[in-house]
Structure 1
Protein backbone atom coordinates (compact mmCIF):
# COMPACT_ATOMS: atom_id res chain seq x y z
CA UNK A 1 0.00 0.00 0.00
CA UNK A 2 1.27 3.44 -0.99
CA UNK A 3 0.65 6.61 1.00
CA UNK A 4 -0.65 9.69 -0.81
CA UNK A 5 -0.87 13.38 -0.02
CA UNK A 6 -3.44 15.49 -1.87
CA UNK A 7 -3.04 19.22 -2.57
CA UNK A 8 -6.21 21.04 -3.59
CA UNK A 9 -8.70 18.85 -1.75
CA UNK A 10 -11.64 21.27 -2.10
CA UNK A 11 -11.39 21.53 -5.87
CA UNK A 12 -13.86 20.19 -8.43
CA UNK A 13 -11.61 17.38 -9.64
CA UNK A 14 -10.21 16.33 -6.23
CA UNK A 15 -12.88 13.66 -5.48
CA UNK A 16 -11.85 11.75 -8.61
CA UNK A 17 -8.30 11.60 -7.26
CA UNK A 18 -9.51 10.56 -3.81
CA UNK A 19 -11.56 7.74 -5.31
CA UNK A 20 -8.70 6.69 -7.59
CA UNK A 21 -6.39 6.39 -4.58
CA UNK A 22 -8.97 4.30 -2.72
CA UNK A 23 -10.01 2.17 -5.71
CA UNK A 24 -6.40 1.24 -6.48
CA UNK A 25 -5.99 -0.02 -2.91
CA UNK A 26 -3.93 2.80 -1.48
CA UNK A 27 -4.23 5.35 1.34
CA UNK A 28 -4.69 9.13 1.35
CA UNK A 29 -2.66 10.01 4.43
CA UNK A 30 -3.01 13.78 4.35
CA UNK A 31 -4.82 16.46 2.36
CA UNK A 32 -4.50 20.22 2.07
CA UNK A 33 -6.59 23.12 0.79
CA UNK A 34 -6.97 26.75 1.83
CA UNK A 35 -10.73 26.10 1.79
CA UNK A 36 -12.33 23.74 4.28
CA UNK A 37 -15.31 22.56 2.18
CA UNK A 38 -13.94 19.03 2.02
CA UNK A 39 -16.73 16.95 3.55
CA UNK A 40 -16.36 14.53 0.63
CA UNK A 41 -13.37 13.11 2.55
CA UNK A 42 -15.76 11.54 5.06
CA UNK A 43 -17.17 9.17 2.45
CA UNK A 44 -13.82 8.25 0.91
CA UNK A 45 -10.99 8.51 3.42
CA UNK A 46 -12.25 9.76 6.82
CA UNK A 47 -9.00 8.96 8.64
CA UNK A 48 -6.94 11.33 6.51
CA UNK A 49 -5.28 14.31 8.16
CA UNK A 50 -6.34 17.67 6.76
CA UNK A 51 -4.75 21.12 6.87
CA UNK A 52 -5.72 24.57 5.62
CA UNK A 53 -2.21 26.04 5.96
CA UNK A 54 0.44 24.82 3.55
CA UNK A 55 3.22 25.15 6.16
CA UNK A 56 1.45 22.76 8.55
CA UNK A 57 0.70 20.34 5.73
CA UNK A 58 4.32 20.35 4.57
CA UNK A 59 5.72 19.91 8.08
CA UNK A 60 3.35 17.00 8.73
CA UNK A 61 4.46 15.31 5.50
CA UNK A 62 8.08 15.83 6.53
CA UNK A 63 7.42 14.17 9.89
CA UNK A 64 5.82 11.18 8.19
CA UNK A 65 9.14 10.53 6.43
CA UNK A 66 10.69 9.35 9.71
CA UNK A 67 8.90 6.01 9.48
CA UNK A 68 9.04 4.00 6.21
CA UNK A 69 5.52 2.74 6.95
CA UNK A 70 4.03 6.26 7.04
CA UNK A 71 6.19 8.21 4.59
CA UNK A 72 4.30 9.77 1.68
CA UNK A 73 5.06 8.06 -1.63
CA UNK A 74 3.00 10.24 -3.99
CA UNK A 75 1.69 13.81 -3.93
CA UNK A 76 -1.44 14.37 -6.05
CA UNK A 77 -2.02 17.96 -7.17
CA UNK A 78 -5.46 19.40 -7.93
CA UNK A 79 -4.73 23.03 -7.10
CA UNK A 80 -5.35 26.04 -9.41
CA UNK A 81 -3.25 26.04 -12.58
CA UNK A 82 -0.87 28.81 -11.53
CA UNK A 83 0.11 26.88 -8.38
CA UNK A 84 1.00 23.63 -10.13
CA UNK A 85 4.68 24.47 -10.55
CA UNK A 86 5.42 25.36 -6.89
CA UNK A 87 3.30 22.48 -5.62
CA UNK A 88 5.04 20.01 -7.94
CA UNK A 89 8.40 21.31 -6.72
CA UNK A 90 7.31 20.92 -3.09
CA UNK A 91 6.17 17.34 -3.69
CA UNK A 92 9.45 16.38 -5.37
CA UNK A 93 11.48 17.93 -2.54
CA UNK A 94 9.48 15.87 -0.06
CA UNK A 95 11.01 12.84 -1.80
CA UNK A 96 7.73 11.92 -3.51
CA UNK A 97 6.67 11.21 -7.05
CA UNK A 98 4.00 13.67 -8.20
CA UNK A 99 0.69 13.18 -10.04
CA UNK A 100 -0.66 16.46 -11.38
CA UNK A 101 -3.74 17.63 -13.21
CA UNK A 102 -3.55 19.50 -16.53
CA UNK A 103 -2.04 21.83 -17.52
CA UNK A 104 1.20 20.96 -15.74
CA UNK A 105 2.62 24.45 -16.31
CA UNK A 106 1.88 27.25 -18.82
CA UNK A 107 5.13 27.38 -20.82
CA UNK A 108 7.83 25.14 -22.32
CA UNK A 109 10.39 27.03 -20.23
CA UNK A 110 8.70 25.83 -17.05
CA UNK A 111 8.57 22.32 -18.51
CA UNK A 112 12.37 22.58 -18.78
CA UNK A 113 12.49 23.62 -15.12
CA UNK A 114 10.41 20.58 -14.13
CA UNK A 115 12.88 18.34 -15.98
CA UNK A 116 15.70 19.90 -13.93
CA UNK A 117 13.74 19.29 -10.73
CA UNK A 118 13.27 15.62 -11.65
CA UNK A 119 17.02 15.30 -12.20
CA UNK A 120 17.85 17.07 -8.94
CA UNK A 121 15.47 15.03 -6.78
CA UNK A 122 15.48 11.68 -8.57
CA UNK A 123 11.65 11.68 -8.45
CA UNK A 124 9.09 11.49 -11.28
CA UNK A 125 6.26 13.76 -12.40
CA UNK A 126 3.14 12.24 -13.99
CA UNK A 127 0.37 14.12 -15.79
CA UNK A 128 -3.27 13.04 -15.81
CA UNK A 129 -3.97 12.68 -19.55
CA UNK A 130 -7.16 10.71 -19.06
CA UNK A 131 -8.58 11.00 -22.58
CA UNK A 132 -5.73 8.76 -23.77
CA UNK A 133 -7.42 5.94 -21.85
CA UNK A 134 -10.93 6.46 -23.29
CA UNK A 135 -12.10 3.52 -25.40
CA UNK A 136 -13.50 5.73 -28.18
CA UNK A 137 -10.24 7.67 -28.43
CA UNK A 138 -8.17 4.48 -28.53
CA UNK A 139 -10.37 3.04 -31.29
CA UNK A 140 -10.04 6.23 -33.34
CA UNK A 141 -6.26 6.18 -32.88
CA UNK A 142 -6.22 2.63 -34.26
CA UNK A 143 -8.39 3.67 -37.22
CA UNK A 144 -6.08 6.56 -38.07
CA UNK A 145 -3.00 4.37 -37.77
CA UNK A 146 -4.55 1.84 -40.19
CA UNK A 147 -5.42 4.48 -42.81
CA UNK A 148 -3.08 5.23 -45.75
CA UNK A 149 -0.11 7.29 -44.57
CA UNK A 150 -0.86 10.10 -47.02
CA UNK A 151 -4.45 10.54 -45.78
CA UNK A 152 -5.23 13.62 -43.70
CA UNK A 153 -8.50 13.65 -41.81
CA UNK A 154 -10.68 16.78 -41.73
CA UNK A 155 -11.71 17.44 -38.13
CA UNK A 156 -14.13 19.96 -36.65
CA UNK A 157 -13.96 20.21 -32.87
CA UNK A 158 -16.63 22.15 -30.97
CA UNK A 159 -16.76 22.29 -27.19
CA UNK A 160 -19.10 24.66 -25.37
CA UNK A 161 -19.42 24.21 -21.63
CA UNK A 162 -21.64 26.90 -20.11
CA UNK A 163 -20.36 28.64 -17.00
CA UNK A 164 -22.20 31.10 -14.76
CA UNK A 165 -21.04 34.48 -13.51
CA UNK A 166 -19.08 32.81 -10.71
CA UNK A 167 -16.53 31.56 -13.23
CA UNK A 168 -15.10 35.00 -14.04
CA UNK A 169 -14.93 35.84 -10.34
CA UNK A 170 -12.95 32.69 -9.57
CA UNK A 171 -9.31 31.95 -10.34
CA UNK A 172 -10.51 30.25 -13.54
CA UNK A 173 -11.63 33.59 -14.95
CA UNK A 174 -8.27 35.25 -14.23
CA UNK A 175 -5.86 34.61 -17.15
CA UNK A 176 -2.91 35.16 -14.81
CA UNK A 177 -4.05 32.10 -12.84
CA UNK A 178 -5.85 29.87 -15.35
CA UNK A 179 -3.84 31.02 -18.42
CA UNK A 180 -7.03 31.64 -20.37
CA UNK A 181 -9.99 29.64 -21.62
CA UNK A 182 -8.09 27.84 -24.40
CA UNK A 183 -5.61 26.50 -21.84
CA UNK A 184 -8.04 25.79 -19.03
CA UNK A 185 -10.69 23.88 -21.01
CA UNK A 186 -8.78 23.15 -24.20
CA UNK A 187 -5.55 21.51 -23.09
CA UNK A 188 -7.33 18.11 -22.80
CA UNK A 189 -8.39 18.26 -26.43
CA UNK A 190 -5.02 19.43 -27.76
CA UNK A 191 -3.39 16.47 -26.05
CA UNK A 192 -6.02 14.15 -27.50
CA UNK A 193 -5.48 15.51 -31.02
CA UNK A 194 -1.72 15.05 -30.79
CA UNK A 195 -2.19 11.54 -29.37
CA UNK A 196 -4.36 10.54 -32.33
CA UNK A 197 -3.01 12.57 -35.25
CA UNK A 198 0.69 13.02 -34.55
CA UNK A 199 2.94 16.07 -34.48
CA UNK A 200 1.58 19.58 -34.86
CA UNK A 201 2.62 21.37 -38.07
CA UNK A 202 0.57 24.61 -38.00
CA UNK A 203 -1.13 26.54 -35.21
CA UNK A 204 -3.27 29.55 -36.15
CA UNK A 205 -5.66 31.52 -33.92
CA UNK A 206 -8.76 33.16 -35.45
CA UNK A 207 -10.44 34.43 -32.27
CA UNK A 208 -9.42 34.86 -28.65
CA UNK A 209 -11.47 36.34 -25.81
CA UNK A 210 -12.01 35.82 -22.11
CA UNK A 211 -14.92 33.41 -22.70
CA UNK A 212 -14.09 31.74 -26.03
CA UNK A 213 -11.36 31.01 -28.54
CA UNK A 214 -11.10 29.49 -32.01
CA UNK A 215 -8.43 28.52 -34.49
CA UNK A 216 -6.87 26.00 -36.84
CA UNK A 217 -4.42 23.20 -36.10
CA UNK A 218 -2.76 21.03 -38.68
CA UNK A 219 -1.22 17.75 -37.60
CA UNK A 220 0.61 15.06 -39.51
CA UNK A 221 -2.66 13.21 -40.05
CA UNK A 222 -5.37 15.87 -39.62
CA UNK A 223 -6.61 19.37 -40.37
CA UNK A 224 -8.55 20.67 -37.35
CA UNK A 225 -10.94 23.62 -37.06
CA UNK A 226 -11.63 24.20 -33.36
CA UNK A 227 -13.97 26.32 -31.25
CA UNK A 228 -14.04 26.43 -27.43
CA UNK A 229 -16.41 28.47 -25.28
CA UNK A 230 -17.84 28.87 -21.78
CA UNK A 231 -20.59 31.21 -23.05
CA UNK A 232 -24.10 29.68 -23.12
CA UNK A 233 -25.02 32.06 -25.95
CA UNK A 234 -22.77 29.99 -28.24
CA UNK A 235 -24.85 26.83 -27.75
CA UNK A 236 -26.65 25.64 -30.91
CA UNK A 237 -30.35 26.51 -30.94
CA UNK A 238 -31.34 22.84 -30.69
CA UNK A 239 -29.40 22.56 -27.42
CA UNK A 240 -30.20 25.85 -25.67
CA UNK A 241 -32.44 25.38 -22.64
CA UNK A 242 -31.95 21.61 -22.73
CA UNK A 243 -28.27 21.01 -22.02
CA UNK A 244 -25.53 23.29 -20.65
CA UNK A 245 -22.82 21.55 -22.66
CA UNK A 246 -22.30 20.84 -26.33
CA UNK A 247 -19.45 18.57 -27.40
CA UNK A 248 -19.03 17.62 -31.03
CA UNK A 249 -16.06 16.19 -32.89
CA UNK A 250 -16.62 15.55 -36.57
CA UNK A 251 -13.95 13.50 -38.34
CA UNK A 252 -14.32 13.46 -42.11
CA UNK A 253 -18.11 13.35 -41.76
CA UNK A 254 -18.26 10.86 -38.87
CA UNK A 255 -19.12 11.84 -35.31
CA UNK A 256 -16.80 10.84 -32.48
CA UNK A 257 -19.07 9.96 -29.56
CA UNK A 258 -17.31 9.97 -26.23
CA UNK A 259 -19.84 11.58 -23.89
CA UNK A 260 -19.88 8.41 -21.79
CA UNK A 261 -17.02 6.50 -20.23
CA UNK A 262 -15.37 9.30 -18.26
CA UNK A 263 -16.24 8.04 -14.78
CA UNK A 264 -13.31 5.72 -14.21
CA UNK A 265 -10.60 7.37 -16.29
CA UNK A 266 -8.77 8.85 -13.29
CA UNK A 267 -8.69 5.44 -11.65
CA UNK A 268 -7.34 3.96 -14.89
CA UNK A 269 -4.71 6.70 -15.00
CA UNK A 270 -3.65 5.90 -11.43
CA UNK A 271 -3.40 2.19 -12.20
CA UNK A 272 -1.14 2.94 -15.16
CA UNK A 273 1.05 5.28 -13.11
CA UNK A 274 1.37 2.83 -10.23
CA UNK A 275 2.28 0.10 -12.73
CA UNK A 276 5.08 2.21 -14.19
CA UNK A 277 3.24 3.11 -17.38
CA UNK A 278 2.11 6.65 -16.55
CA UNK A 279 2.45 9.68 -18.81
CA UNK A 280 5.36 11.92 -17.87
CA UNK A 281 6.89 15.22 -18.91
CA UNK A 282 7.79 14.16 -22.45
CA UNK A 283 4.19 13.09 -23.07
CA UNK A 284 2.76 16.36 -21.71
CA UNK A 285 5.16 18.75 -23.48
CA UNK A 286 3.33 18.80 -26.82
CA UNK A 287 0.04 20.16 -25.47
CA UNK A 288 1.90 22.74 -23.34
CA UNK A 289 3.72 23.97 -26.44
CA UNK A 290 0.36 24.14 -28.26
CA UNK A 291 -1.44 26.27 -25.67
CA UNK A 292 1.61 28.49 -25.20
CA UNK A 293 1.46 29.42 -28.90
CA UNK A 294 -2.33 29.90 -28.79
CA UNK A 295 -2.04 32.33 -25.85
CA UNK A 296 0.60 34.46 -27.53
CA UNK A 297 -0.36 34.19 -31.23
CA UNK A 298 -1.44 37.14 -33.34
CA UNK A 299 -5.10 36.84 -34.37
CA UNK A 300 -5.52 36.30 -38.11
CA UNK A 301 -8.58 36.16 -40.33
CA UNK A 302 -7.79 32.78 -41.89
CA UNK A 303 -8.89 31.01 -45.04
CA UNK A 304 -12.57 30.02 -45.21
CA UNK A 305 -11.78 26.31 -45.20
CA UNK A 306 -9.70 26.70 -42.03
CA UNK A 307 -12.11 28.81 -39.94
CA UNK A 308 -14.62 27.10 -37.65
CA UNK A 309 -18.22 27.96 -38.76
CA UNK A 310 -19.11 29.29 -35.30
CA UNK A 311 -16.57 32.11 -35.69
CA UNK A 312 -18.88 33.86 -38.18
CA UNK A 313 -21.42 34.33 -35.38
CA UNK A 314 -18.93 36.44 -33.43
CA UNK A 315 -18.67 39.25 -35.98
Structure 2
Protein backbone atom coordinates (compact mmCIF):
# COMPACT_ATOMS: atom_id res chain seq x y z
CA UNK A 1 0.00 0.00 0.00
CA UNK A 2 1.30 3.43 -1.01
CA UNK A 3 0.65 6.71 0.78
CA UNK A 4 -0.76 9.58 -1.27
CA UNK A 5 -1.30 13.30 -0.80
CA UNK A 6 -3.50 15.24 -3.22
CA UNK A 7 -3.29 18.93 -4.12
CA UNK A 8 -6.35 20.56 -5.69
CA UNK A 9 -8.86 18.13 -4.19
CA UNK A 10 -11.81 20.50 -4.80
CA UNK A 11 -11.06 20.66 -8.52
CA UNK A 12 -12.99 19.16 -11.44
CA UNK A 13 -10.57 16.32 -12.18
CA UNK A 14 -9.72 15.40 -8.58
CA UNK A 15 -12.49 12.76 -8.19
CA UNK A 16 -10.86 10.68 -10.94
CA UNK A 17 -7.60 10.72 -9.00
CA UNK A 18 -9.31 9.87 -5.72
CA UNK A 19 -11.08 6.98 -7.43
CA UNK A 20 -7.79 5.79 -8.91
CA UNK A 21 -6.08 5.85 -5.50
CA UNK A 22 -8.97 3.80 -4.09
CA UNK A 23 -9.08 1.39 -7.05
CA UNK A 24 -5.36 0.65 -6.74
CA UNK A 25 -5.86 -0.12 -3.03
CA UNK A 26 -3.73 2.73 -1.71
CA UNK A 27 -4.29 5.36 0.97
CA UNK A 28 -4.95 9.10 0.73
CA UNK A 29 -3.39 10.52 3.90
CA UNK A 30 -3.60 14.25 3.20
CA UNK A 31 -5.30 16.67 0.83
CA UNK A 32 -5.07 20.38 0.16
CA UNK A 33 -7.26 22.99 -1.53
CA UNK A 34 -7.97 26.67 -0.72
CA UNK A 35 -11.65 25.83 -1.31
CA UNK A 36 -13.39 23.60 1.22
CA UNK A 37 -16.09 22.00 -0.97
CA UNK A 38 -14.44 18.60 -0.61
CA UNK A 39 -17.14 16.40 0.88
CA UNK A 40 -16.49 13.85 -1.86
CA UNK A 41 -13.54 12.64 0.23
CA UNK A 42 -16.01 11.03 2.66
CA UNK A 43 -17.08 8.53 0.00
CA UNK A 44 -13.52 7.28 -0.39
CA UNK A 45 -11.16 8.30 2.42
CA UNK A 46 -13.04 9.85 5.37
CA UNK A 47 -9.91 9.79 7.55
CA UNK A 48 -7.90 11.96 5.16
CA UNK A 49 -6.44 15.08 6.80
CA UNK A 50 -7.62 18.11 4.81
CA UNK A 51 -6.05 21.57 4.72
CA UNK A 52 -7.09 24.87 3.17
CA UNK A 53 -3.75 26.50 3.99
CA UNK A 54 -0.69 25.34 2.10
CA UNK A 55 1.68 26.00 5.01
CA UNK A 56 -0.23 23.66 7.31
CA UNK A 57 -0.43 21.01 4.59
CA UNK A 58 3.34 21.32 4.07
CA UNK A 59 3.96 20.96 7.81
CA UNK A 60 1.71 17.89 8.02
CA UNK A 61 3.59 16.11 5.24
CA UNK A 62 6.86 16.92 6.95
CA UNK A 63 5.55 15.53 10.24
CA UNK A 64 4.46 12.33 8.53
CA UNK A 65 7.97 11.93 7.15
CA UNK A 66 10.11 12.99 10.08
CA UNK A 67 8.08 12.30 13.21
CA UNK A 68 5.66 9.50 12.35
CA UNK A 69 7.88 7.57 9.95
CA UNK A 70 4.94 7.39 7.54
CA UNK A 71 6.10 9.38 4.52
CA UNK A 72 4.08 10.24 1.45
CA UNK A 73 5.06 8.14 -1.58
CA UNK A 74 3.14 10.12 -4.22
CA UNK A 75 1.76 13.65 -4.48
CA UNK A 76 -1.12 13.88 -6.97
CA UNK A 77 -1.44 17.35 -8.48
CA UNK A 78 -4.84 18.57 -9.70
CA UNK A 79 -4.25 22.28 -9.13
CA UNK A 80 -4.58 25.08 -11.74
CA UNK A 81 -2.22 24.67 -14.68
CA UNK A 82 0.06 27.58 -13.81
CA UNK A 83 0.79 26.06 -10.38
CA UNK A 84 1.81 22.61 -11.62
CA UNK A 85 5.48 23.54 -11.92
CA UNK A 86 5.74 24.71 -8.29
CA UNK A 87 3.70 21.81 -6.93
CA UNK A 88 5.78 19.20 -8.78
CA UNK A 89 8.87 20.74 -7.18
CA UNK A 90 7.11 20.58 -3.82
CA UNK A 91 6.50 16.84 -4.30
CA UNK A 92 10.17 16.19 -5.01
CA UNK A 93 11.25 18.24 -1.99
CA UNK A 94 9.09 15.92 0.10
CA UNK A 95 10.90 12.89 -1.33
CA UNK A 96 7.74 11.84 -3.15
CA UNK A 97 7.01 11.01 -6.78
CA UNK A 98 4.73 13.48 -8.55
CA UNK A 99 1.59 12.54 -10.50
CA UNK A 100 0.56 15.66 -12.39
CA UNK A 101 -2.54 16.34 -14.46
CA UNK A 102 -2.25 17.79 -17.93
CA UNK A 103 -0.56 20.00 -18.93
CA UNK A 104 2.50 19.28 -16.85
CA UNK A 105 3.66 22.88 -17.42
CA UNK A 106 2.71 25.70 -19.80
CA UNK A 107 6.14 26.45 -21.27
CA UNK A 108 8.81 24.12 -22.70
CA UNK A 109 11.59 25.73 -20.67
CA UNK A 110 9.73 24.95 -17.44
CA UNK A 111 9.66 21.28 -18.45
CA UNK A 112 13.37 21.34 -19.21
CA UNK A 113 14.13 22.80 -15.77
CA UNK A 114 11.99 20.12 -14.13
CA UNK A 115 14.00 17.49 -16.00
CA UNK A 116 17.19 18.92 -14.51
CA UNK A 117 15.67 18.94 -11.01
CA UNK A 118 14.38 15.39 -11.43
CA UNK A 119 17.85 14.23 -12.50
CA UNK A 120 19.19 15.39 -9.12
CA UNK A 121 16.40 13.66 -7.24
CA UNK A 122 15.67 10.04 -6.39
CA UNK A 123 12.01 10.58 -7.31
CA UNK A 124 10.10 10.66 -10.58
CA UNK A 125 7.75 13.12 -12.23
CA UNK A 126 4.78 11.40 -13.90
CA UNK A 127 2.18 13.06 -16.09
CA UNK A 128 -1.33 11.85 -16.93
CA UNK A 129 -1.62 11.02 -20.65
CA UNK A 130 -4.62 8.74 -20.35
CA UNK A 131 -5.53 8.68 -24.05
CA UNK A 132 -2.37 6.63 -24.66
CA UNK A 133 -3.99 3.91 -22.56
CA UNK A 134 -7.31 3.86 -24.43
CA UNK A 135 -7.70 0.44 -26.14
CA UNK A 136 -8.96 1.90 -29.44
CA UNK A 137 -6.12 4.43 -29.59
CA UNK A 138 -3.52 1.75 -28.81
CA UNK A 139 -4.98 -0.36 -31.64
CA UNK A 140 -4.84 2.62 -34.03
CA UNK A 141 -1.19 3.23 -33.17
CA UNK A 142 -0.35 -0.40 -33.90
CA UNK A 143 -2.25 -0.25 -37.18
CA UNK A 144 -0.37 2.86 -38.34
CA UNK A 145 2.95 1.43 -37.14
CA UNK A 146 2.47 -1.84 -39.05
CA UNK A 147 1.51 -0.30 -42.39
CA UNK A 148 3.88 -1.45 -45.09
CA UNK A 149 4.02 1.98 -46.71
CA UNK A 150 4.01 5.26 -44.86
CA UNK A 151 0.83 7.12 -45.80
CA UNK A 152 0.08 10.79 -45.45
CA UNK A 153 -3.24 10.45 -43.65
CA UNK A 154 -5.92 13.14 -43.78
CA UNK A 155 -7.43 13.81 -40.35
CA UNK A 156 -10.13 16.10 -38.98
CA UNK A 157 -10.21 16.65 -35.22
CA UNK A 158 -13.24 18.37 -33.68
CA UNK A 159 -13.57 18.75 -29.93
CA UNK A 160 -16.27 20.95 -28.41
CA UNK A 161 -16.83 20.90 -24.65
CA UNK A 162 -19.27 23.63 -23.67
CA UNK A 163 -18.52 25.91 -20.75
CA UNK A 164 -20.70 28.61 -19.18
CA UNK A 165 -19.75 32.13 -18.21
CA UNK A 166 -18.28 30.86 -14.92
CA UNK A 167 -15.30 29.67 -16.97
CA UNK A 168 -14.12 33.23 -17.57
CA UNK A 169 -14.32 34.12 -13.88
CA UNK A 170 -12.09 31.16 -13.02
CA UNK A 171 -8.39 30.62 -13.62
CA UNK A 172 -9.32 28.58 -16.70
CA UNK A 173 -10.39 31.72 -18.53
CA UNK A 174 -7.06 33.49 -17.91
CA UNK A 175 -4.55 32.78 -20.67
CA UNK A 176 -1.54 33.25 -18.40
CA UNK A 177 -2.93 30.72 -15.89
CA UNK A 178 -4.48 28.03 -18.10
CA UNK A 179 -2.54 28.39 -21.34
CA UNK A 180 -5.79 28.95 -23.21
CA UNK A 181 -7.82 26.54 -25.32
CA UNK A 182 -4.87 24.58 -26.70
CA UNK A 183 -3.33 23.77 -23.32
CA UNK A 184 -6.54 23.45 -21.35
CA UNK A 185 -8.64 21.16 -23.56
CA UNK A 186 -6.49 20.30 -26.57
CA UNK A 187 -3.21 19.02 -25.22
CA UNK A 188 -4.31 15.38 -24.75
CA UNK A 189 -5.40 15.21 -28.38
CA UNK A 190 -2.22 16.85 -29.63
CA UNK A 191 -0.17 14.39 -27.59
CA UNK A 192 -2.17 11.46 -28.95
CA UNK A 193 -1.79 12.53 -32.58
CA UNK A 194 1.95 13.18 -32.27
CA UNK A 195 2.35 9.82 -30.51
CA UNK A 196 0.65 8.01 -33.40
CA UNK A 197 1.51 10.03 -36.51
CA UNK A 198 4.93 11.48 -35.74
CA UNK A 199 6.56 14.80 -34.98
CA UNK A 200 5.36 18.23 -36.05
CA UNK A 201 6.59 19.30 -39.49
CA UNK A 202 4.56 22.48 -39.97
CA UNK A 203 1.73 24.27 -38.19
CA UNK A 204 -0.70 26.96 -39.34
CA UNK A 205 -3.14 28.76 -37.03
CA UNK A 206 -6.38 30.10 -38.49
CA UNK A 207 -8.19 31.03 -35.30
CA UNK A 208 -7.10 31.72 -31.72
CA UNK A 209 -9.90 33.22 -29.63
CA UNK A 210 -11.06 33.13 -26.01
CA UNK A 211 -13.59 30.38 -26.76
CA UNK A 212 -12.22 28.52 -29.80
CA UNK A 213 -9.09 27.78 -31.80
CA UNK A 214 -8.42 26.14 -35.13
CA UNK A 215 -5.64 25.40 -37.56
CA UNK A 216 -3.86 22.88 -39.75
CA UNK A 217 -1.13 20.67 -38.39
CA UNK A 218 1.27 18.72 -40.55
CA UNK A 219 2.86 15.72 -38.86
CA UNK A 220 5.29 13.23 -40.36
CA UNK A 221 2.47 10.91 -41.43
CA UNK A 222 -0.65 13.06 -41.30
CA UNK A 223 -2.24 16.36 -42.25
CA UNK A 224 -4.68 17.43 -39.54
CA UNK A 225 -7.40 20.07 -39.59
CA UNK A 226 -8.30 20.77 -35.97
CA UNK A 227 -10.98 22.74 -34.16
CA UNK A 228 -11.33 23.20 -30.39
CA UNK A 229 -14.15 25.08 -28.68
CA UNK A 230 -15.80 25.71 -25.31
CA UNK A 231 -18.75 27.58 -26.87
CA UNK A 232 -22.04 25.64 -27.17
CA UNK A 233 -22.97 27.77 -30.20
CA UNK A 234 -20.39 25.78 -32.20
CA UNK A 235 -22.05 22.41 -31.48
CA UNK A 236 -23.36 20.55 -34.55
CA UNK A 237 -27.12 20.18 -34.94
CA UNK A 238 -26.95 16.45 -34.21
CA UNK A 239 -25.46 17.07 -30.75
CA UNK A 240 -27.99 19.80 -29.95
CA UNK A 241 -30.94 17.53 -30.86
CA UNK A 242 -29.61 14.88 -28.48
CA UNK A 243 -29.21 17.41 -25.69
CA UNK A 244 -25.44 17.00 -25.60
CA UNK A 245 -23.03 19.76 -24.61
CA UNK A 246 -19.93 17.90 -25.71
CA UNK A 247 -18.97 16.76 -29.20
CA UNK A 248 -15.85 14.73 -29.88
CA UNK A 249 -15.02 13.45 -33.37
CA UNK A 250 -11.94 12.34 -35.27
CA UNK A 251 -12.07 11.26 -38.90
CA UNK A 252 -9.11 9.53 -40.52
CA UNK A 253 -9.10 9.37 -44.33
CA UNK A 254 -12.84 10.22 -44.29
CA UNK A 255 -13.66 7.40 -41.88
CA UNK A 256 -14.89 8.16 -38.37
CA UNK A 257 -12.54 6.89 -35.70
CA UNK A 258 -14.70 5.63 -32.84
CA UNK A 259 -13.28 6.03 -29.35
CA UNK A 260 -16.20 7.51 -27.42
CA UNK A 261 -16.35 4.54 -25.05
CA UNK A 262 -13.68 3.30 -22.67
CA UNK A 263 -12.84 6.58 -20.90
CA UNK A 264 -14.21 5.62 -17.47
CA UNK A 265 -11.21 3.86 -15.96
CA UNK A 266 -8.30 5.52 -17.74
CA UNK A 267 -7.07 7.38 -14.65
CA UNK A 268 -7.06 4.11 -12.72
CA UNK A 269 -5.07 2.52 -15.56
CA UNK A 270 -2.69 5.49 -15.45
CA UNK A 271 -2.14 4.97 -11.73
CA UNK A 272 -1.50 1.26 -12.22
CA UNK A 273 1.19 2.06 -14.79
CA UNK A 274 2.75 4.72 -12.56
CA UNK A 275 2.86 2.55 -9.45
CA UNK A 276 4.44 -0.28 -11.45
CA UNK A 277 7.16 2.12 -12.64
CA UNK A 278 5.81 2.63 -16.16
CA UNK A 279 4.38 6.12 -15.92
CA UNK A 280 4.81 8.74 -18.63
CA UNK A 281 7.70 11.06 -17.80
CA UNK A 282 8.57 14.61 -18.83
CA UNK A 283 10.19 13.60 -22.12
CA UNK A 284 6.94 11.88 -23.14
CA UNK A 285 4.86 15.04 -22.81
CA UNK A 286 7.38 17.66 -23.96
CA UNK A 287 6.37 17.66 -27.65
CA UNK A 288 2.73 18.45 -26.93
CA UNK A 289 3.76 21.19 -24.47
CA UNK A 290 5.97 22.73 -27.18
CA UNK A 291 3.14 22.56 -29.71
CA UNK A 292 0.52 24.13 -27.42
CA UNK A 293 2.96 26.90 -26.51
CA UNK A 294 3.79 27.59 -30.16
CA UNK A 295 0.12 27.60 -31.20
CA UNK A 296 -0.94 30.23 -28.68
CA UNK A 297 1.99 32.45 -29.70
CA UNK A 298 1.38 32.12 -33.45
CA UNK A 299 -0.40 34.91 -35.30
CA UNK A 300 -3.49 33.53 -37.08
CA UNK A 301 -3.61 33.76 -40.88
CA UNK A 302 -6.57 34.18 -43.21
CA UNK A 303 -8.75 31.21 -44.13
CA UNK A 304 -7.21 30.20 -47.43
CA UNK A 305 -6.62 26.81 -48.99
CA UNK A 306 -7.26 24.03 -46.45
CA UNK A 307 -8.96 24.79 -43.12
CA UNK A 308 -11.41 23.21 -40.69
CA UNK A 309 -15.02 24.02 -41.76
CA UNK A 310 -16.01 25.22 -38.27
CA UNK A 311 -13.29 27.86 -38.38
CA UNK A 312 -15.70 29.89 -40.56
CA UNK A 313 -18.26 30.31 -37.77
CA UNK A 314 -18.67 33.90 -36.50
CA UNK A 315 -16.59 34.66 -33.41
CA UNK A 316 -18.41 35.53 -30.19
CA UNK A 317 -17.75 38.55 -28.04
CA UNK A 318 -15.93 37.79 -24.80
CA UNK A 319 -18.67 37.76 -22.09
CA UNK A 320 -16.54 39.81 -19.68
CA UNK A 321 -15.66 42.61 -22.09
What's the TM-score bracket when you normalise by the shorter of the two chains?
over 0.9
**2:164 aligned with 1:164, yes or no?**
yes
**2:286 aligned with 1:266, yes or no?**
no
Match of 1:104, SS state, is: coil
Q: Which residue is 1:177 aligned to?
A: 177
Q: Which residue is 2:285 aligned to?
A: 284
User: Normalized against structure 1, the TM-score is what?
Assistant: 0.97
User: Normalized against structure 2, the TM-score is what?
Assistant: 0.95
Match of 2:238, SS state, is: coil
Q: Which residue is 2:95 aligned to?
A: 95
Match of 2:156, SS state, is: strand
Q: Which residue is 2:28 aligned to?
A: 28
CA shift for structure 1 position 260: 1.3
Match of 2:277, SS state, is: coil
**CA distance 1:313–1:302, shift in 2 (3 Å):** closer
Point out the more displaced range, 200-209 or 112-121.
112-121
Q: Which residue is 2:318 aligned to?
A: none
CA shift for structure 1 position 67: 5.7
CA shift for structure 1 position 66: 2.1
Q: Which residue is 1:232 aligned to?
A: 232
Match of 1:71, SS state, is: coil
Q: Which residue is 2:18 aligned to?
A: 18
Q: Which residue is 1:82 aligned to?
A: 82
Q: Which residue is 1:51 aligned to?
A: 51
Give the RMSD, CA atoms, in angstroms: 1.3
Q: Which residue is 2:210 aligned to?
A: 210
Point out the more displaced range, 295-304 or 260-269.
295-304
Structure 1 residue runs without a partner (length 5+): none
Structure 2 residue runs without a partner (length 5+): 316-321
Q: Which residue is 2:305 aligned to?
A: 304
CA shift for structure 1 position 302: 5.2
Q: Distance in 2 between matches of 1:150 and 1:86?
A: 41
CA shift for structure 1 position 119: 2.0
Match of 1:57, SS state, is: helix
Match of 1:37, SS state, is: coil
Instruction: Report the count of equivalent residues.
Output: 314
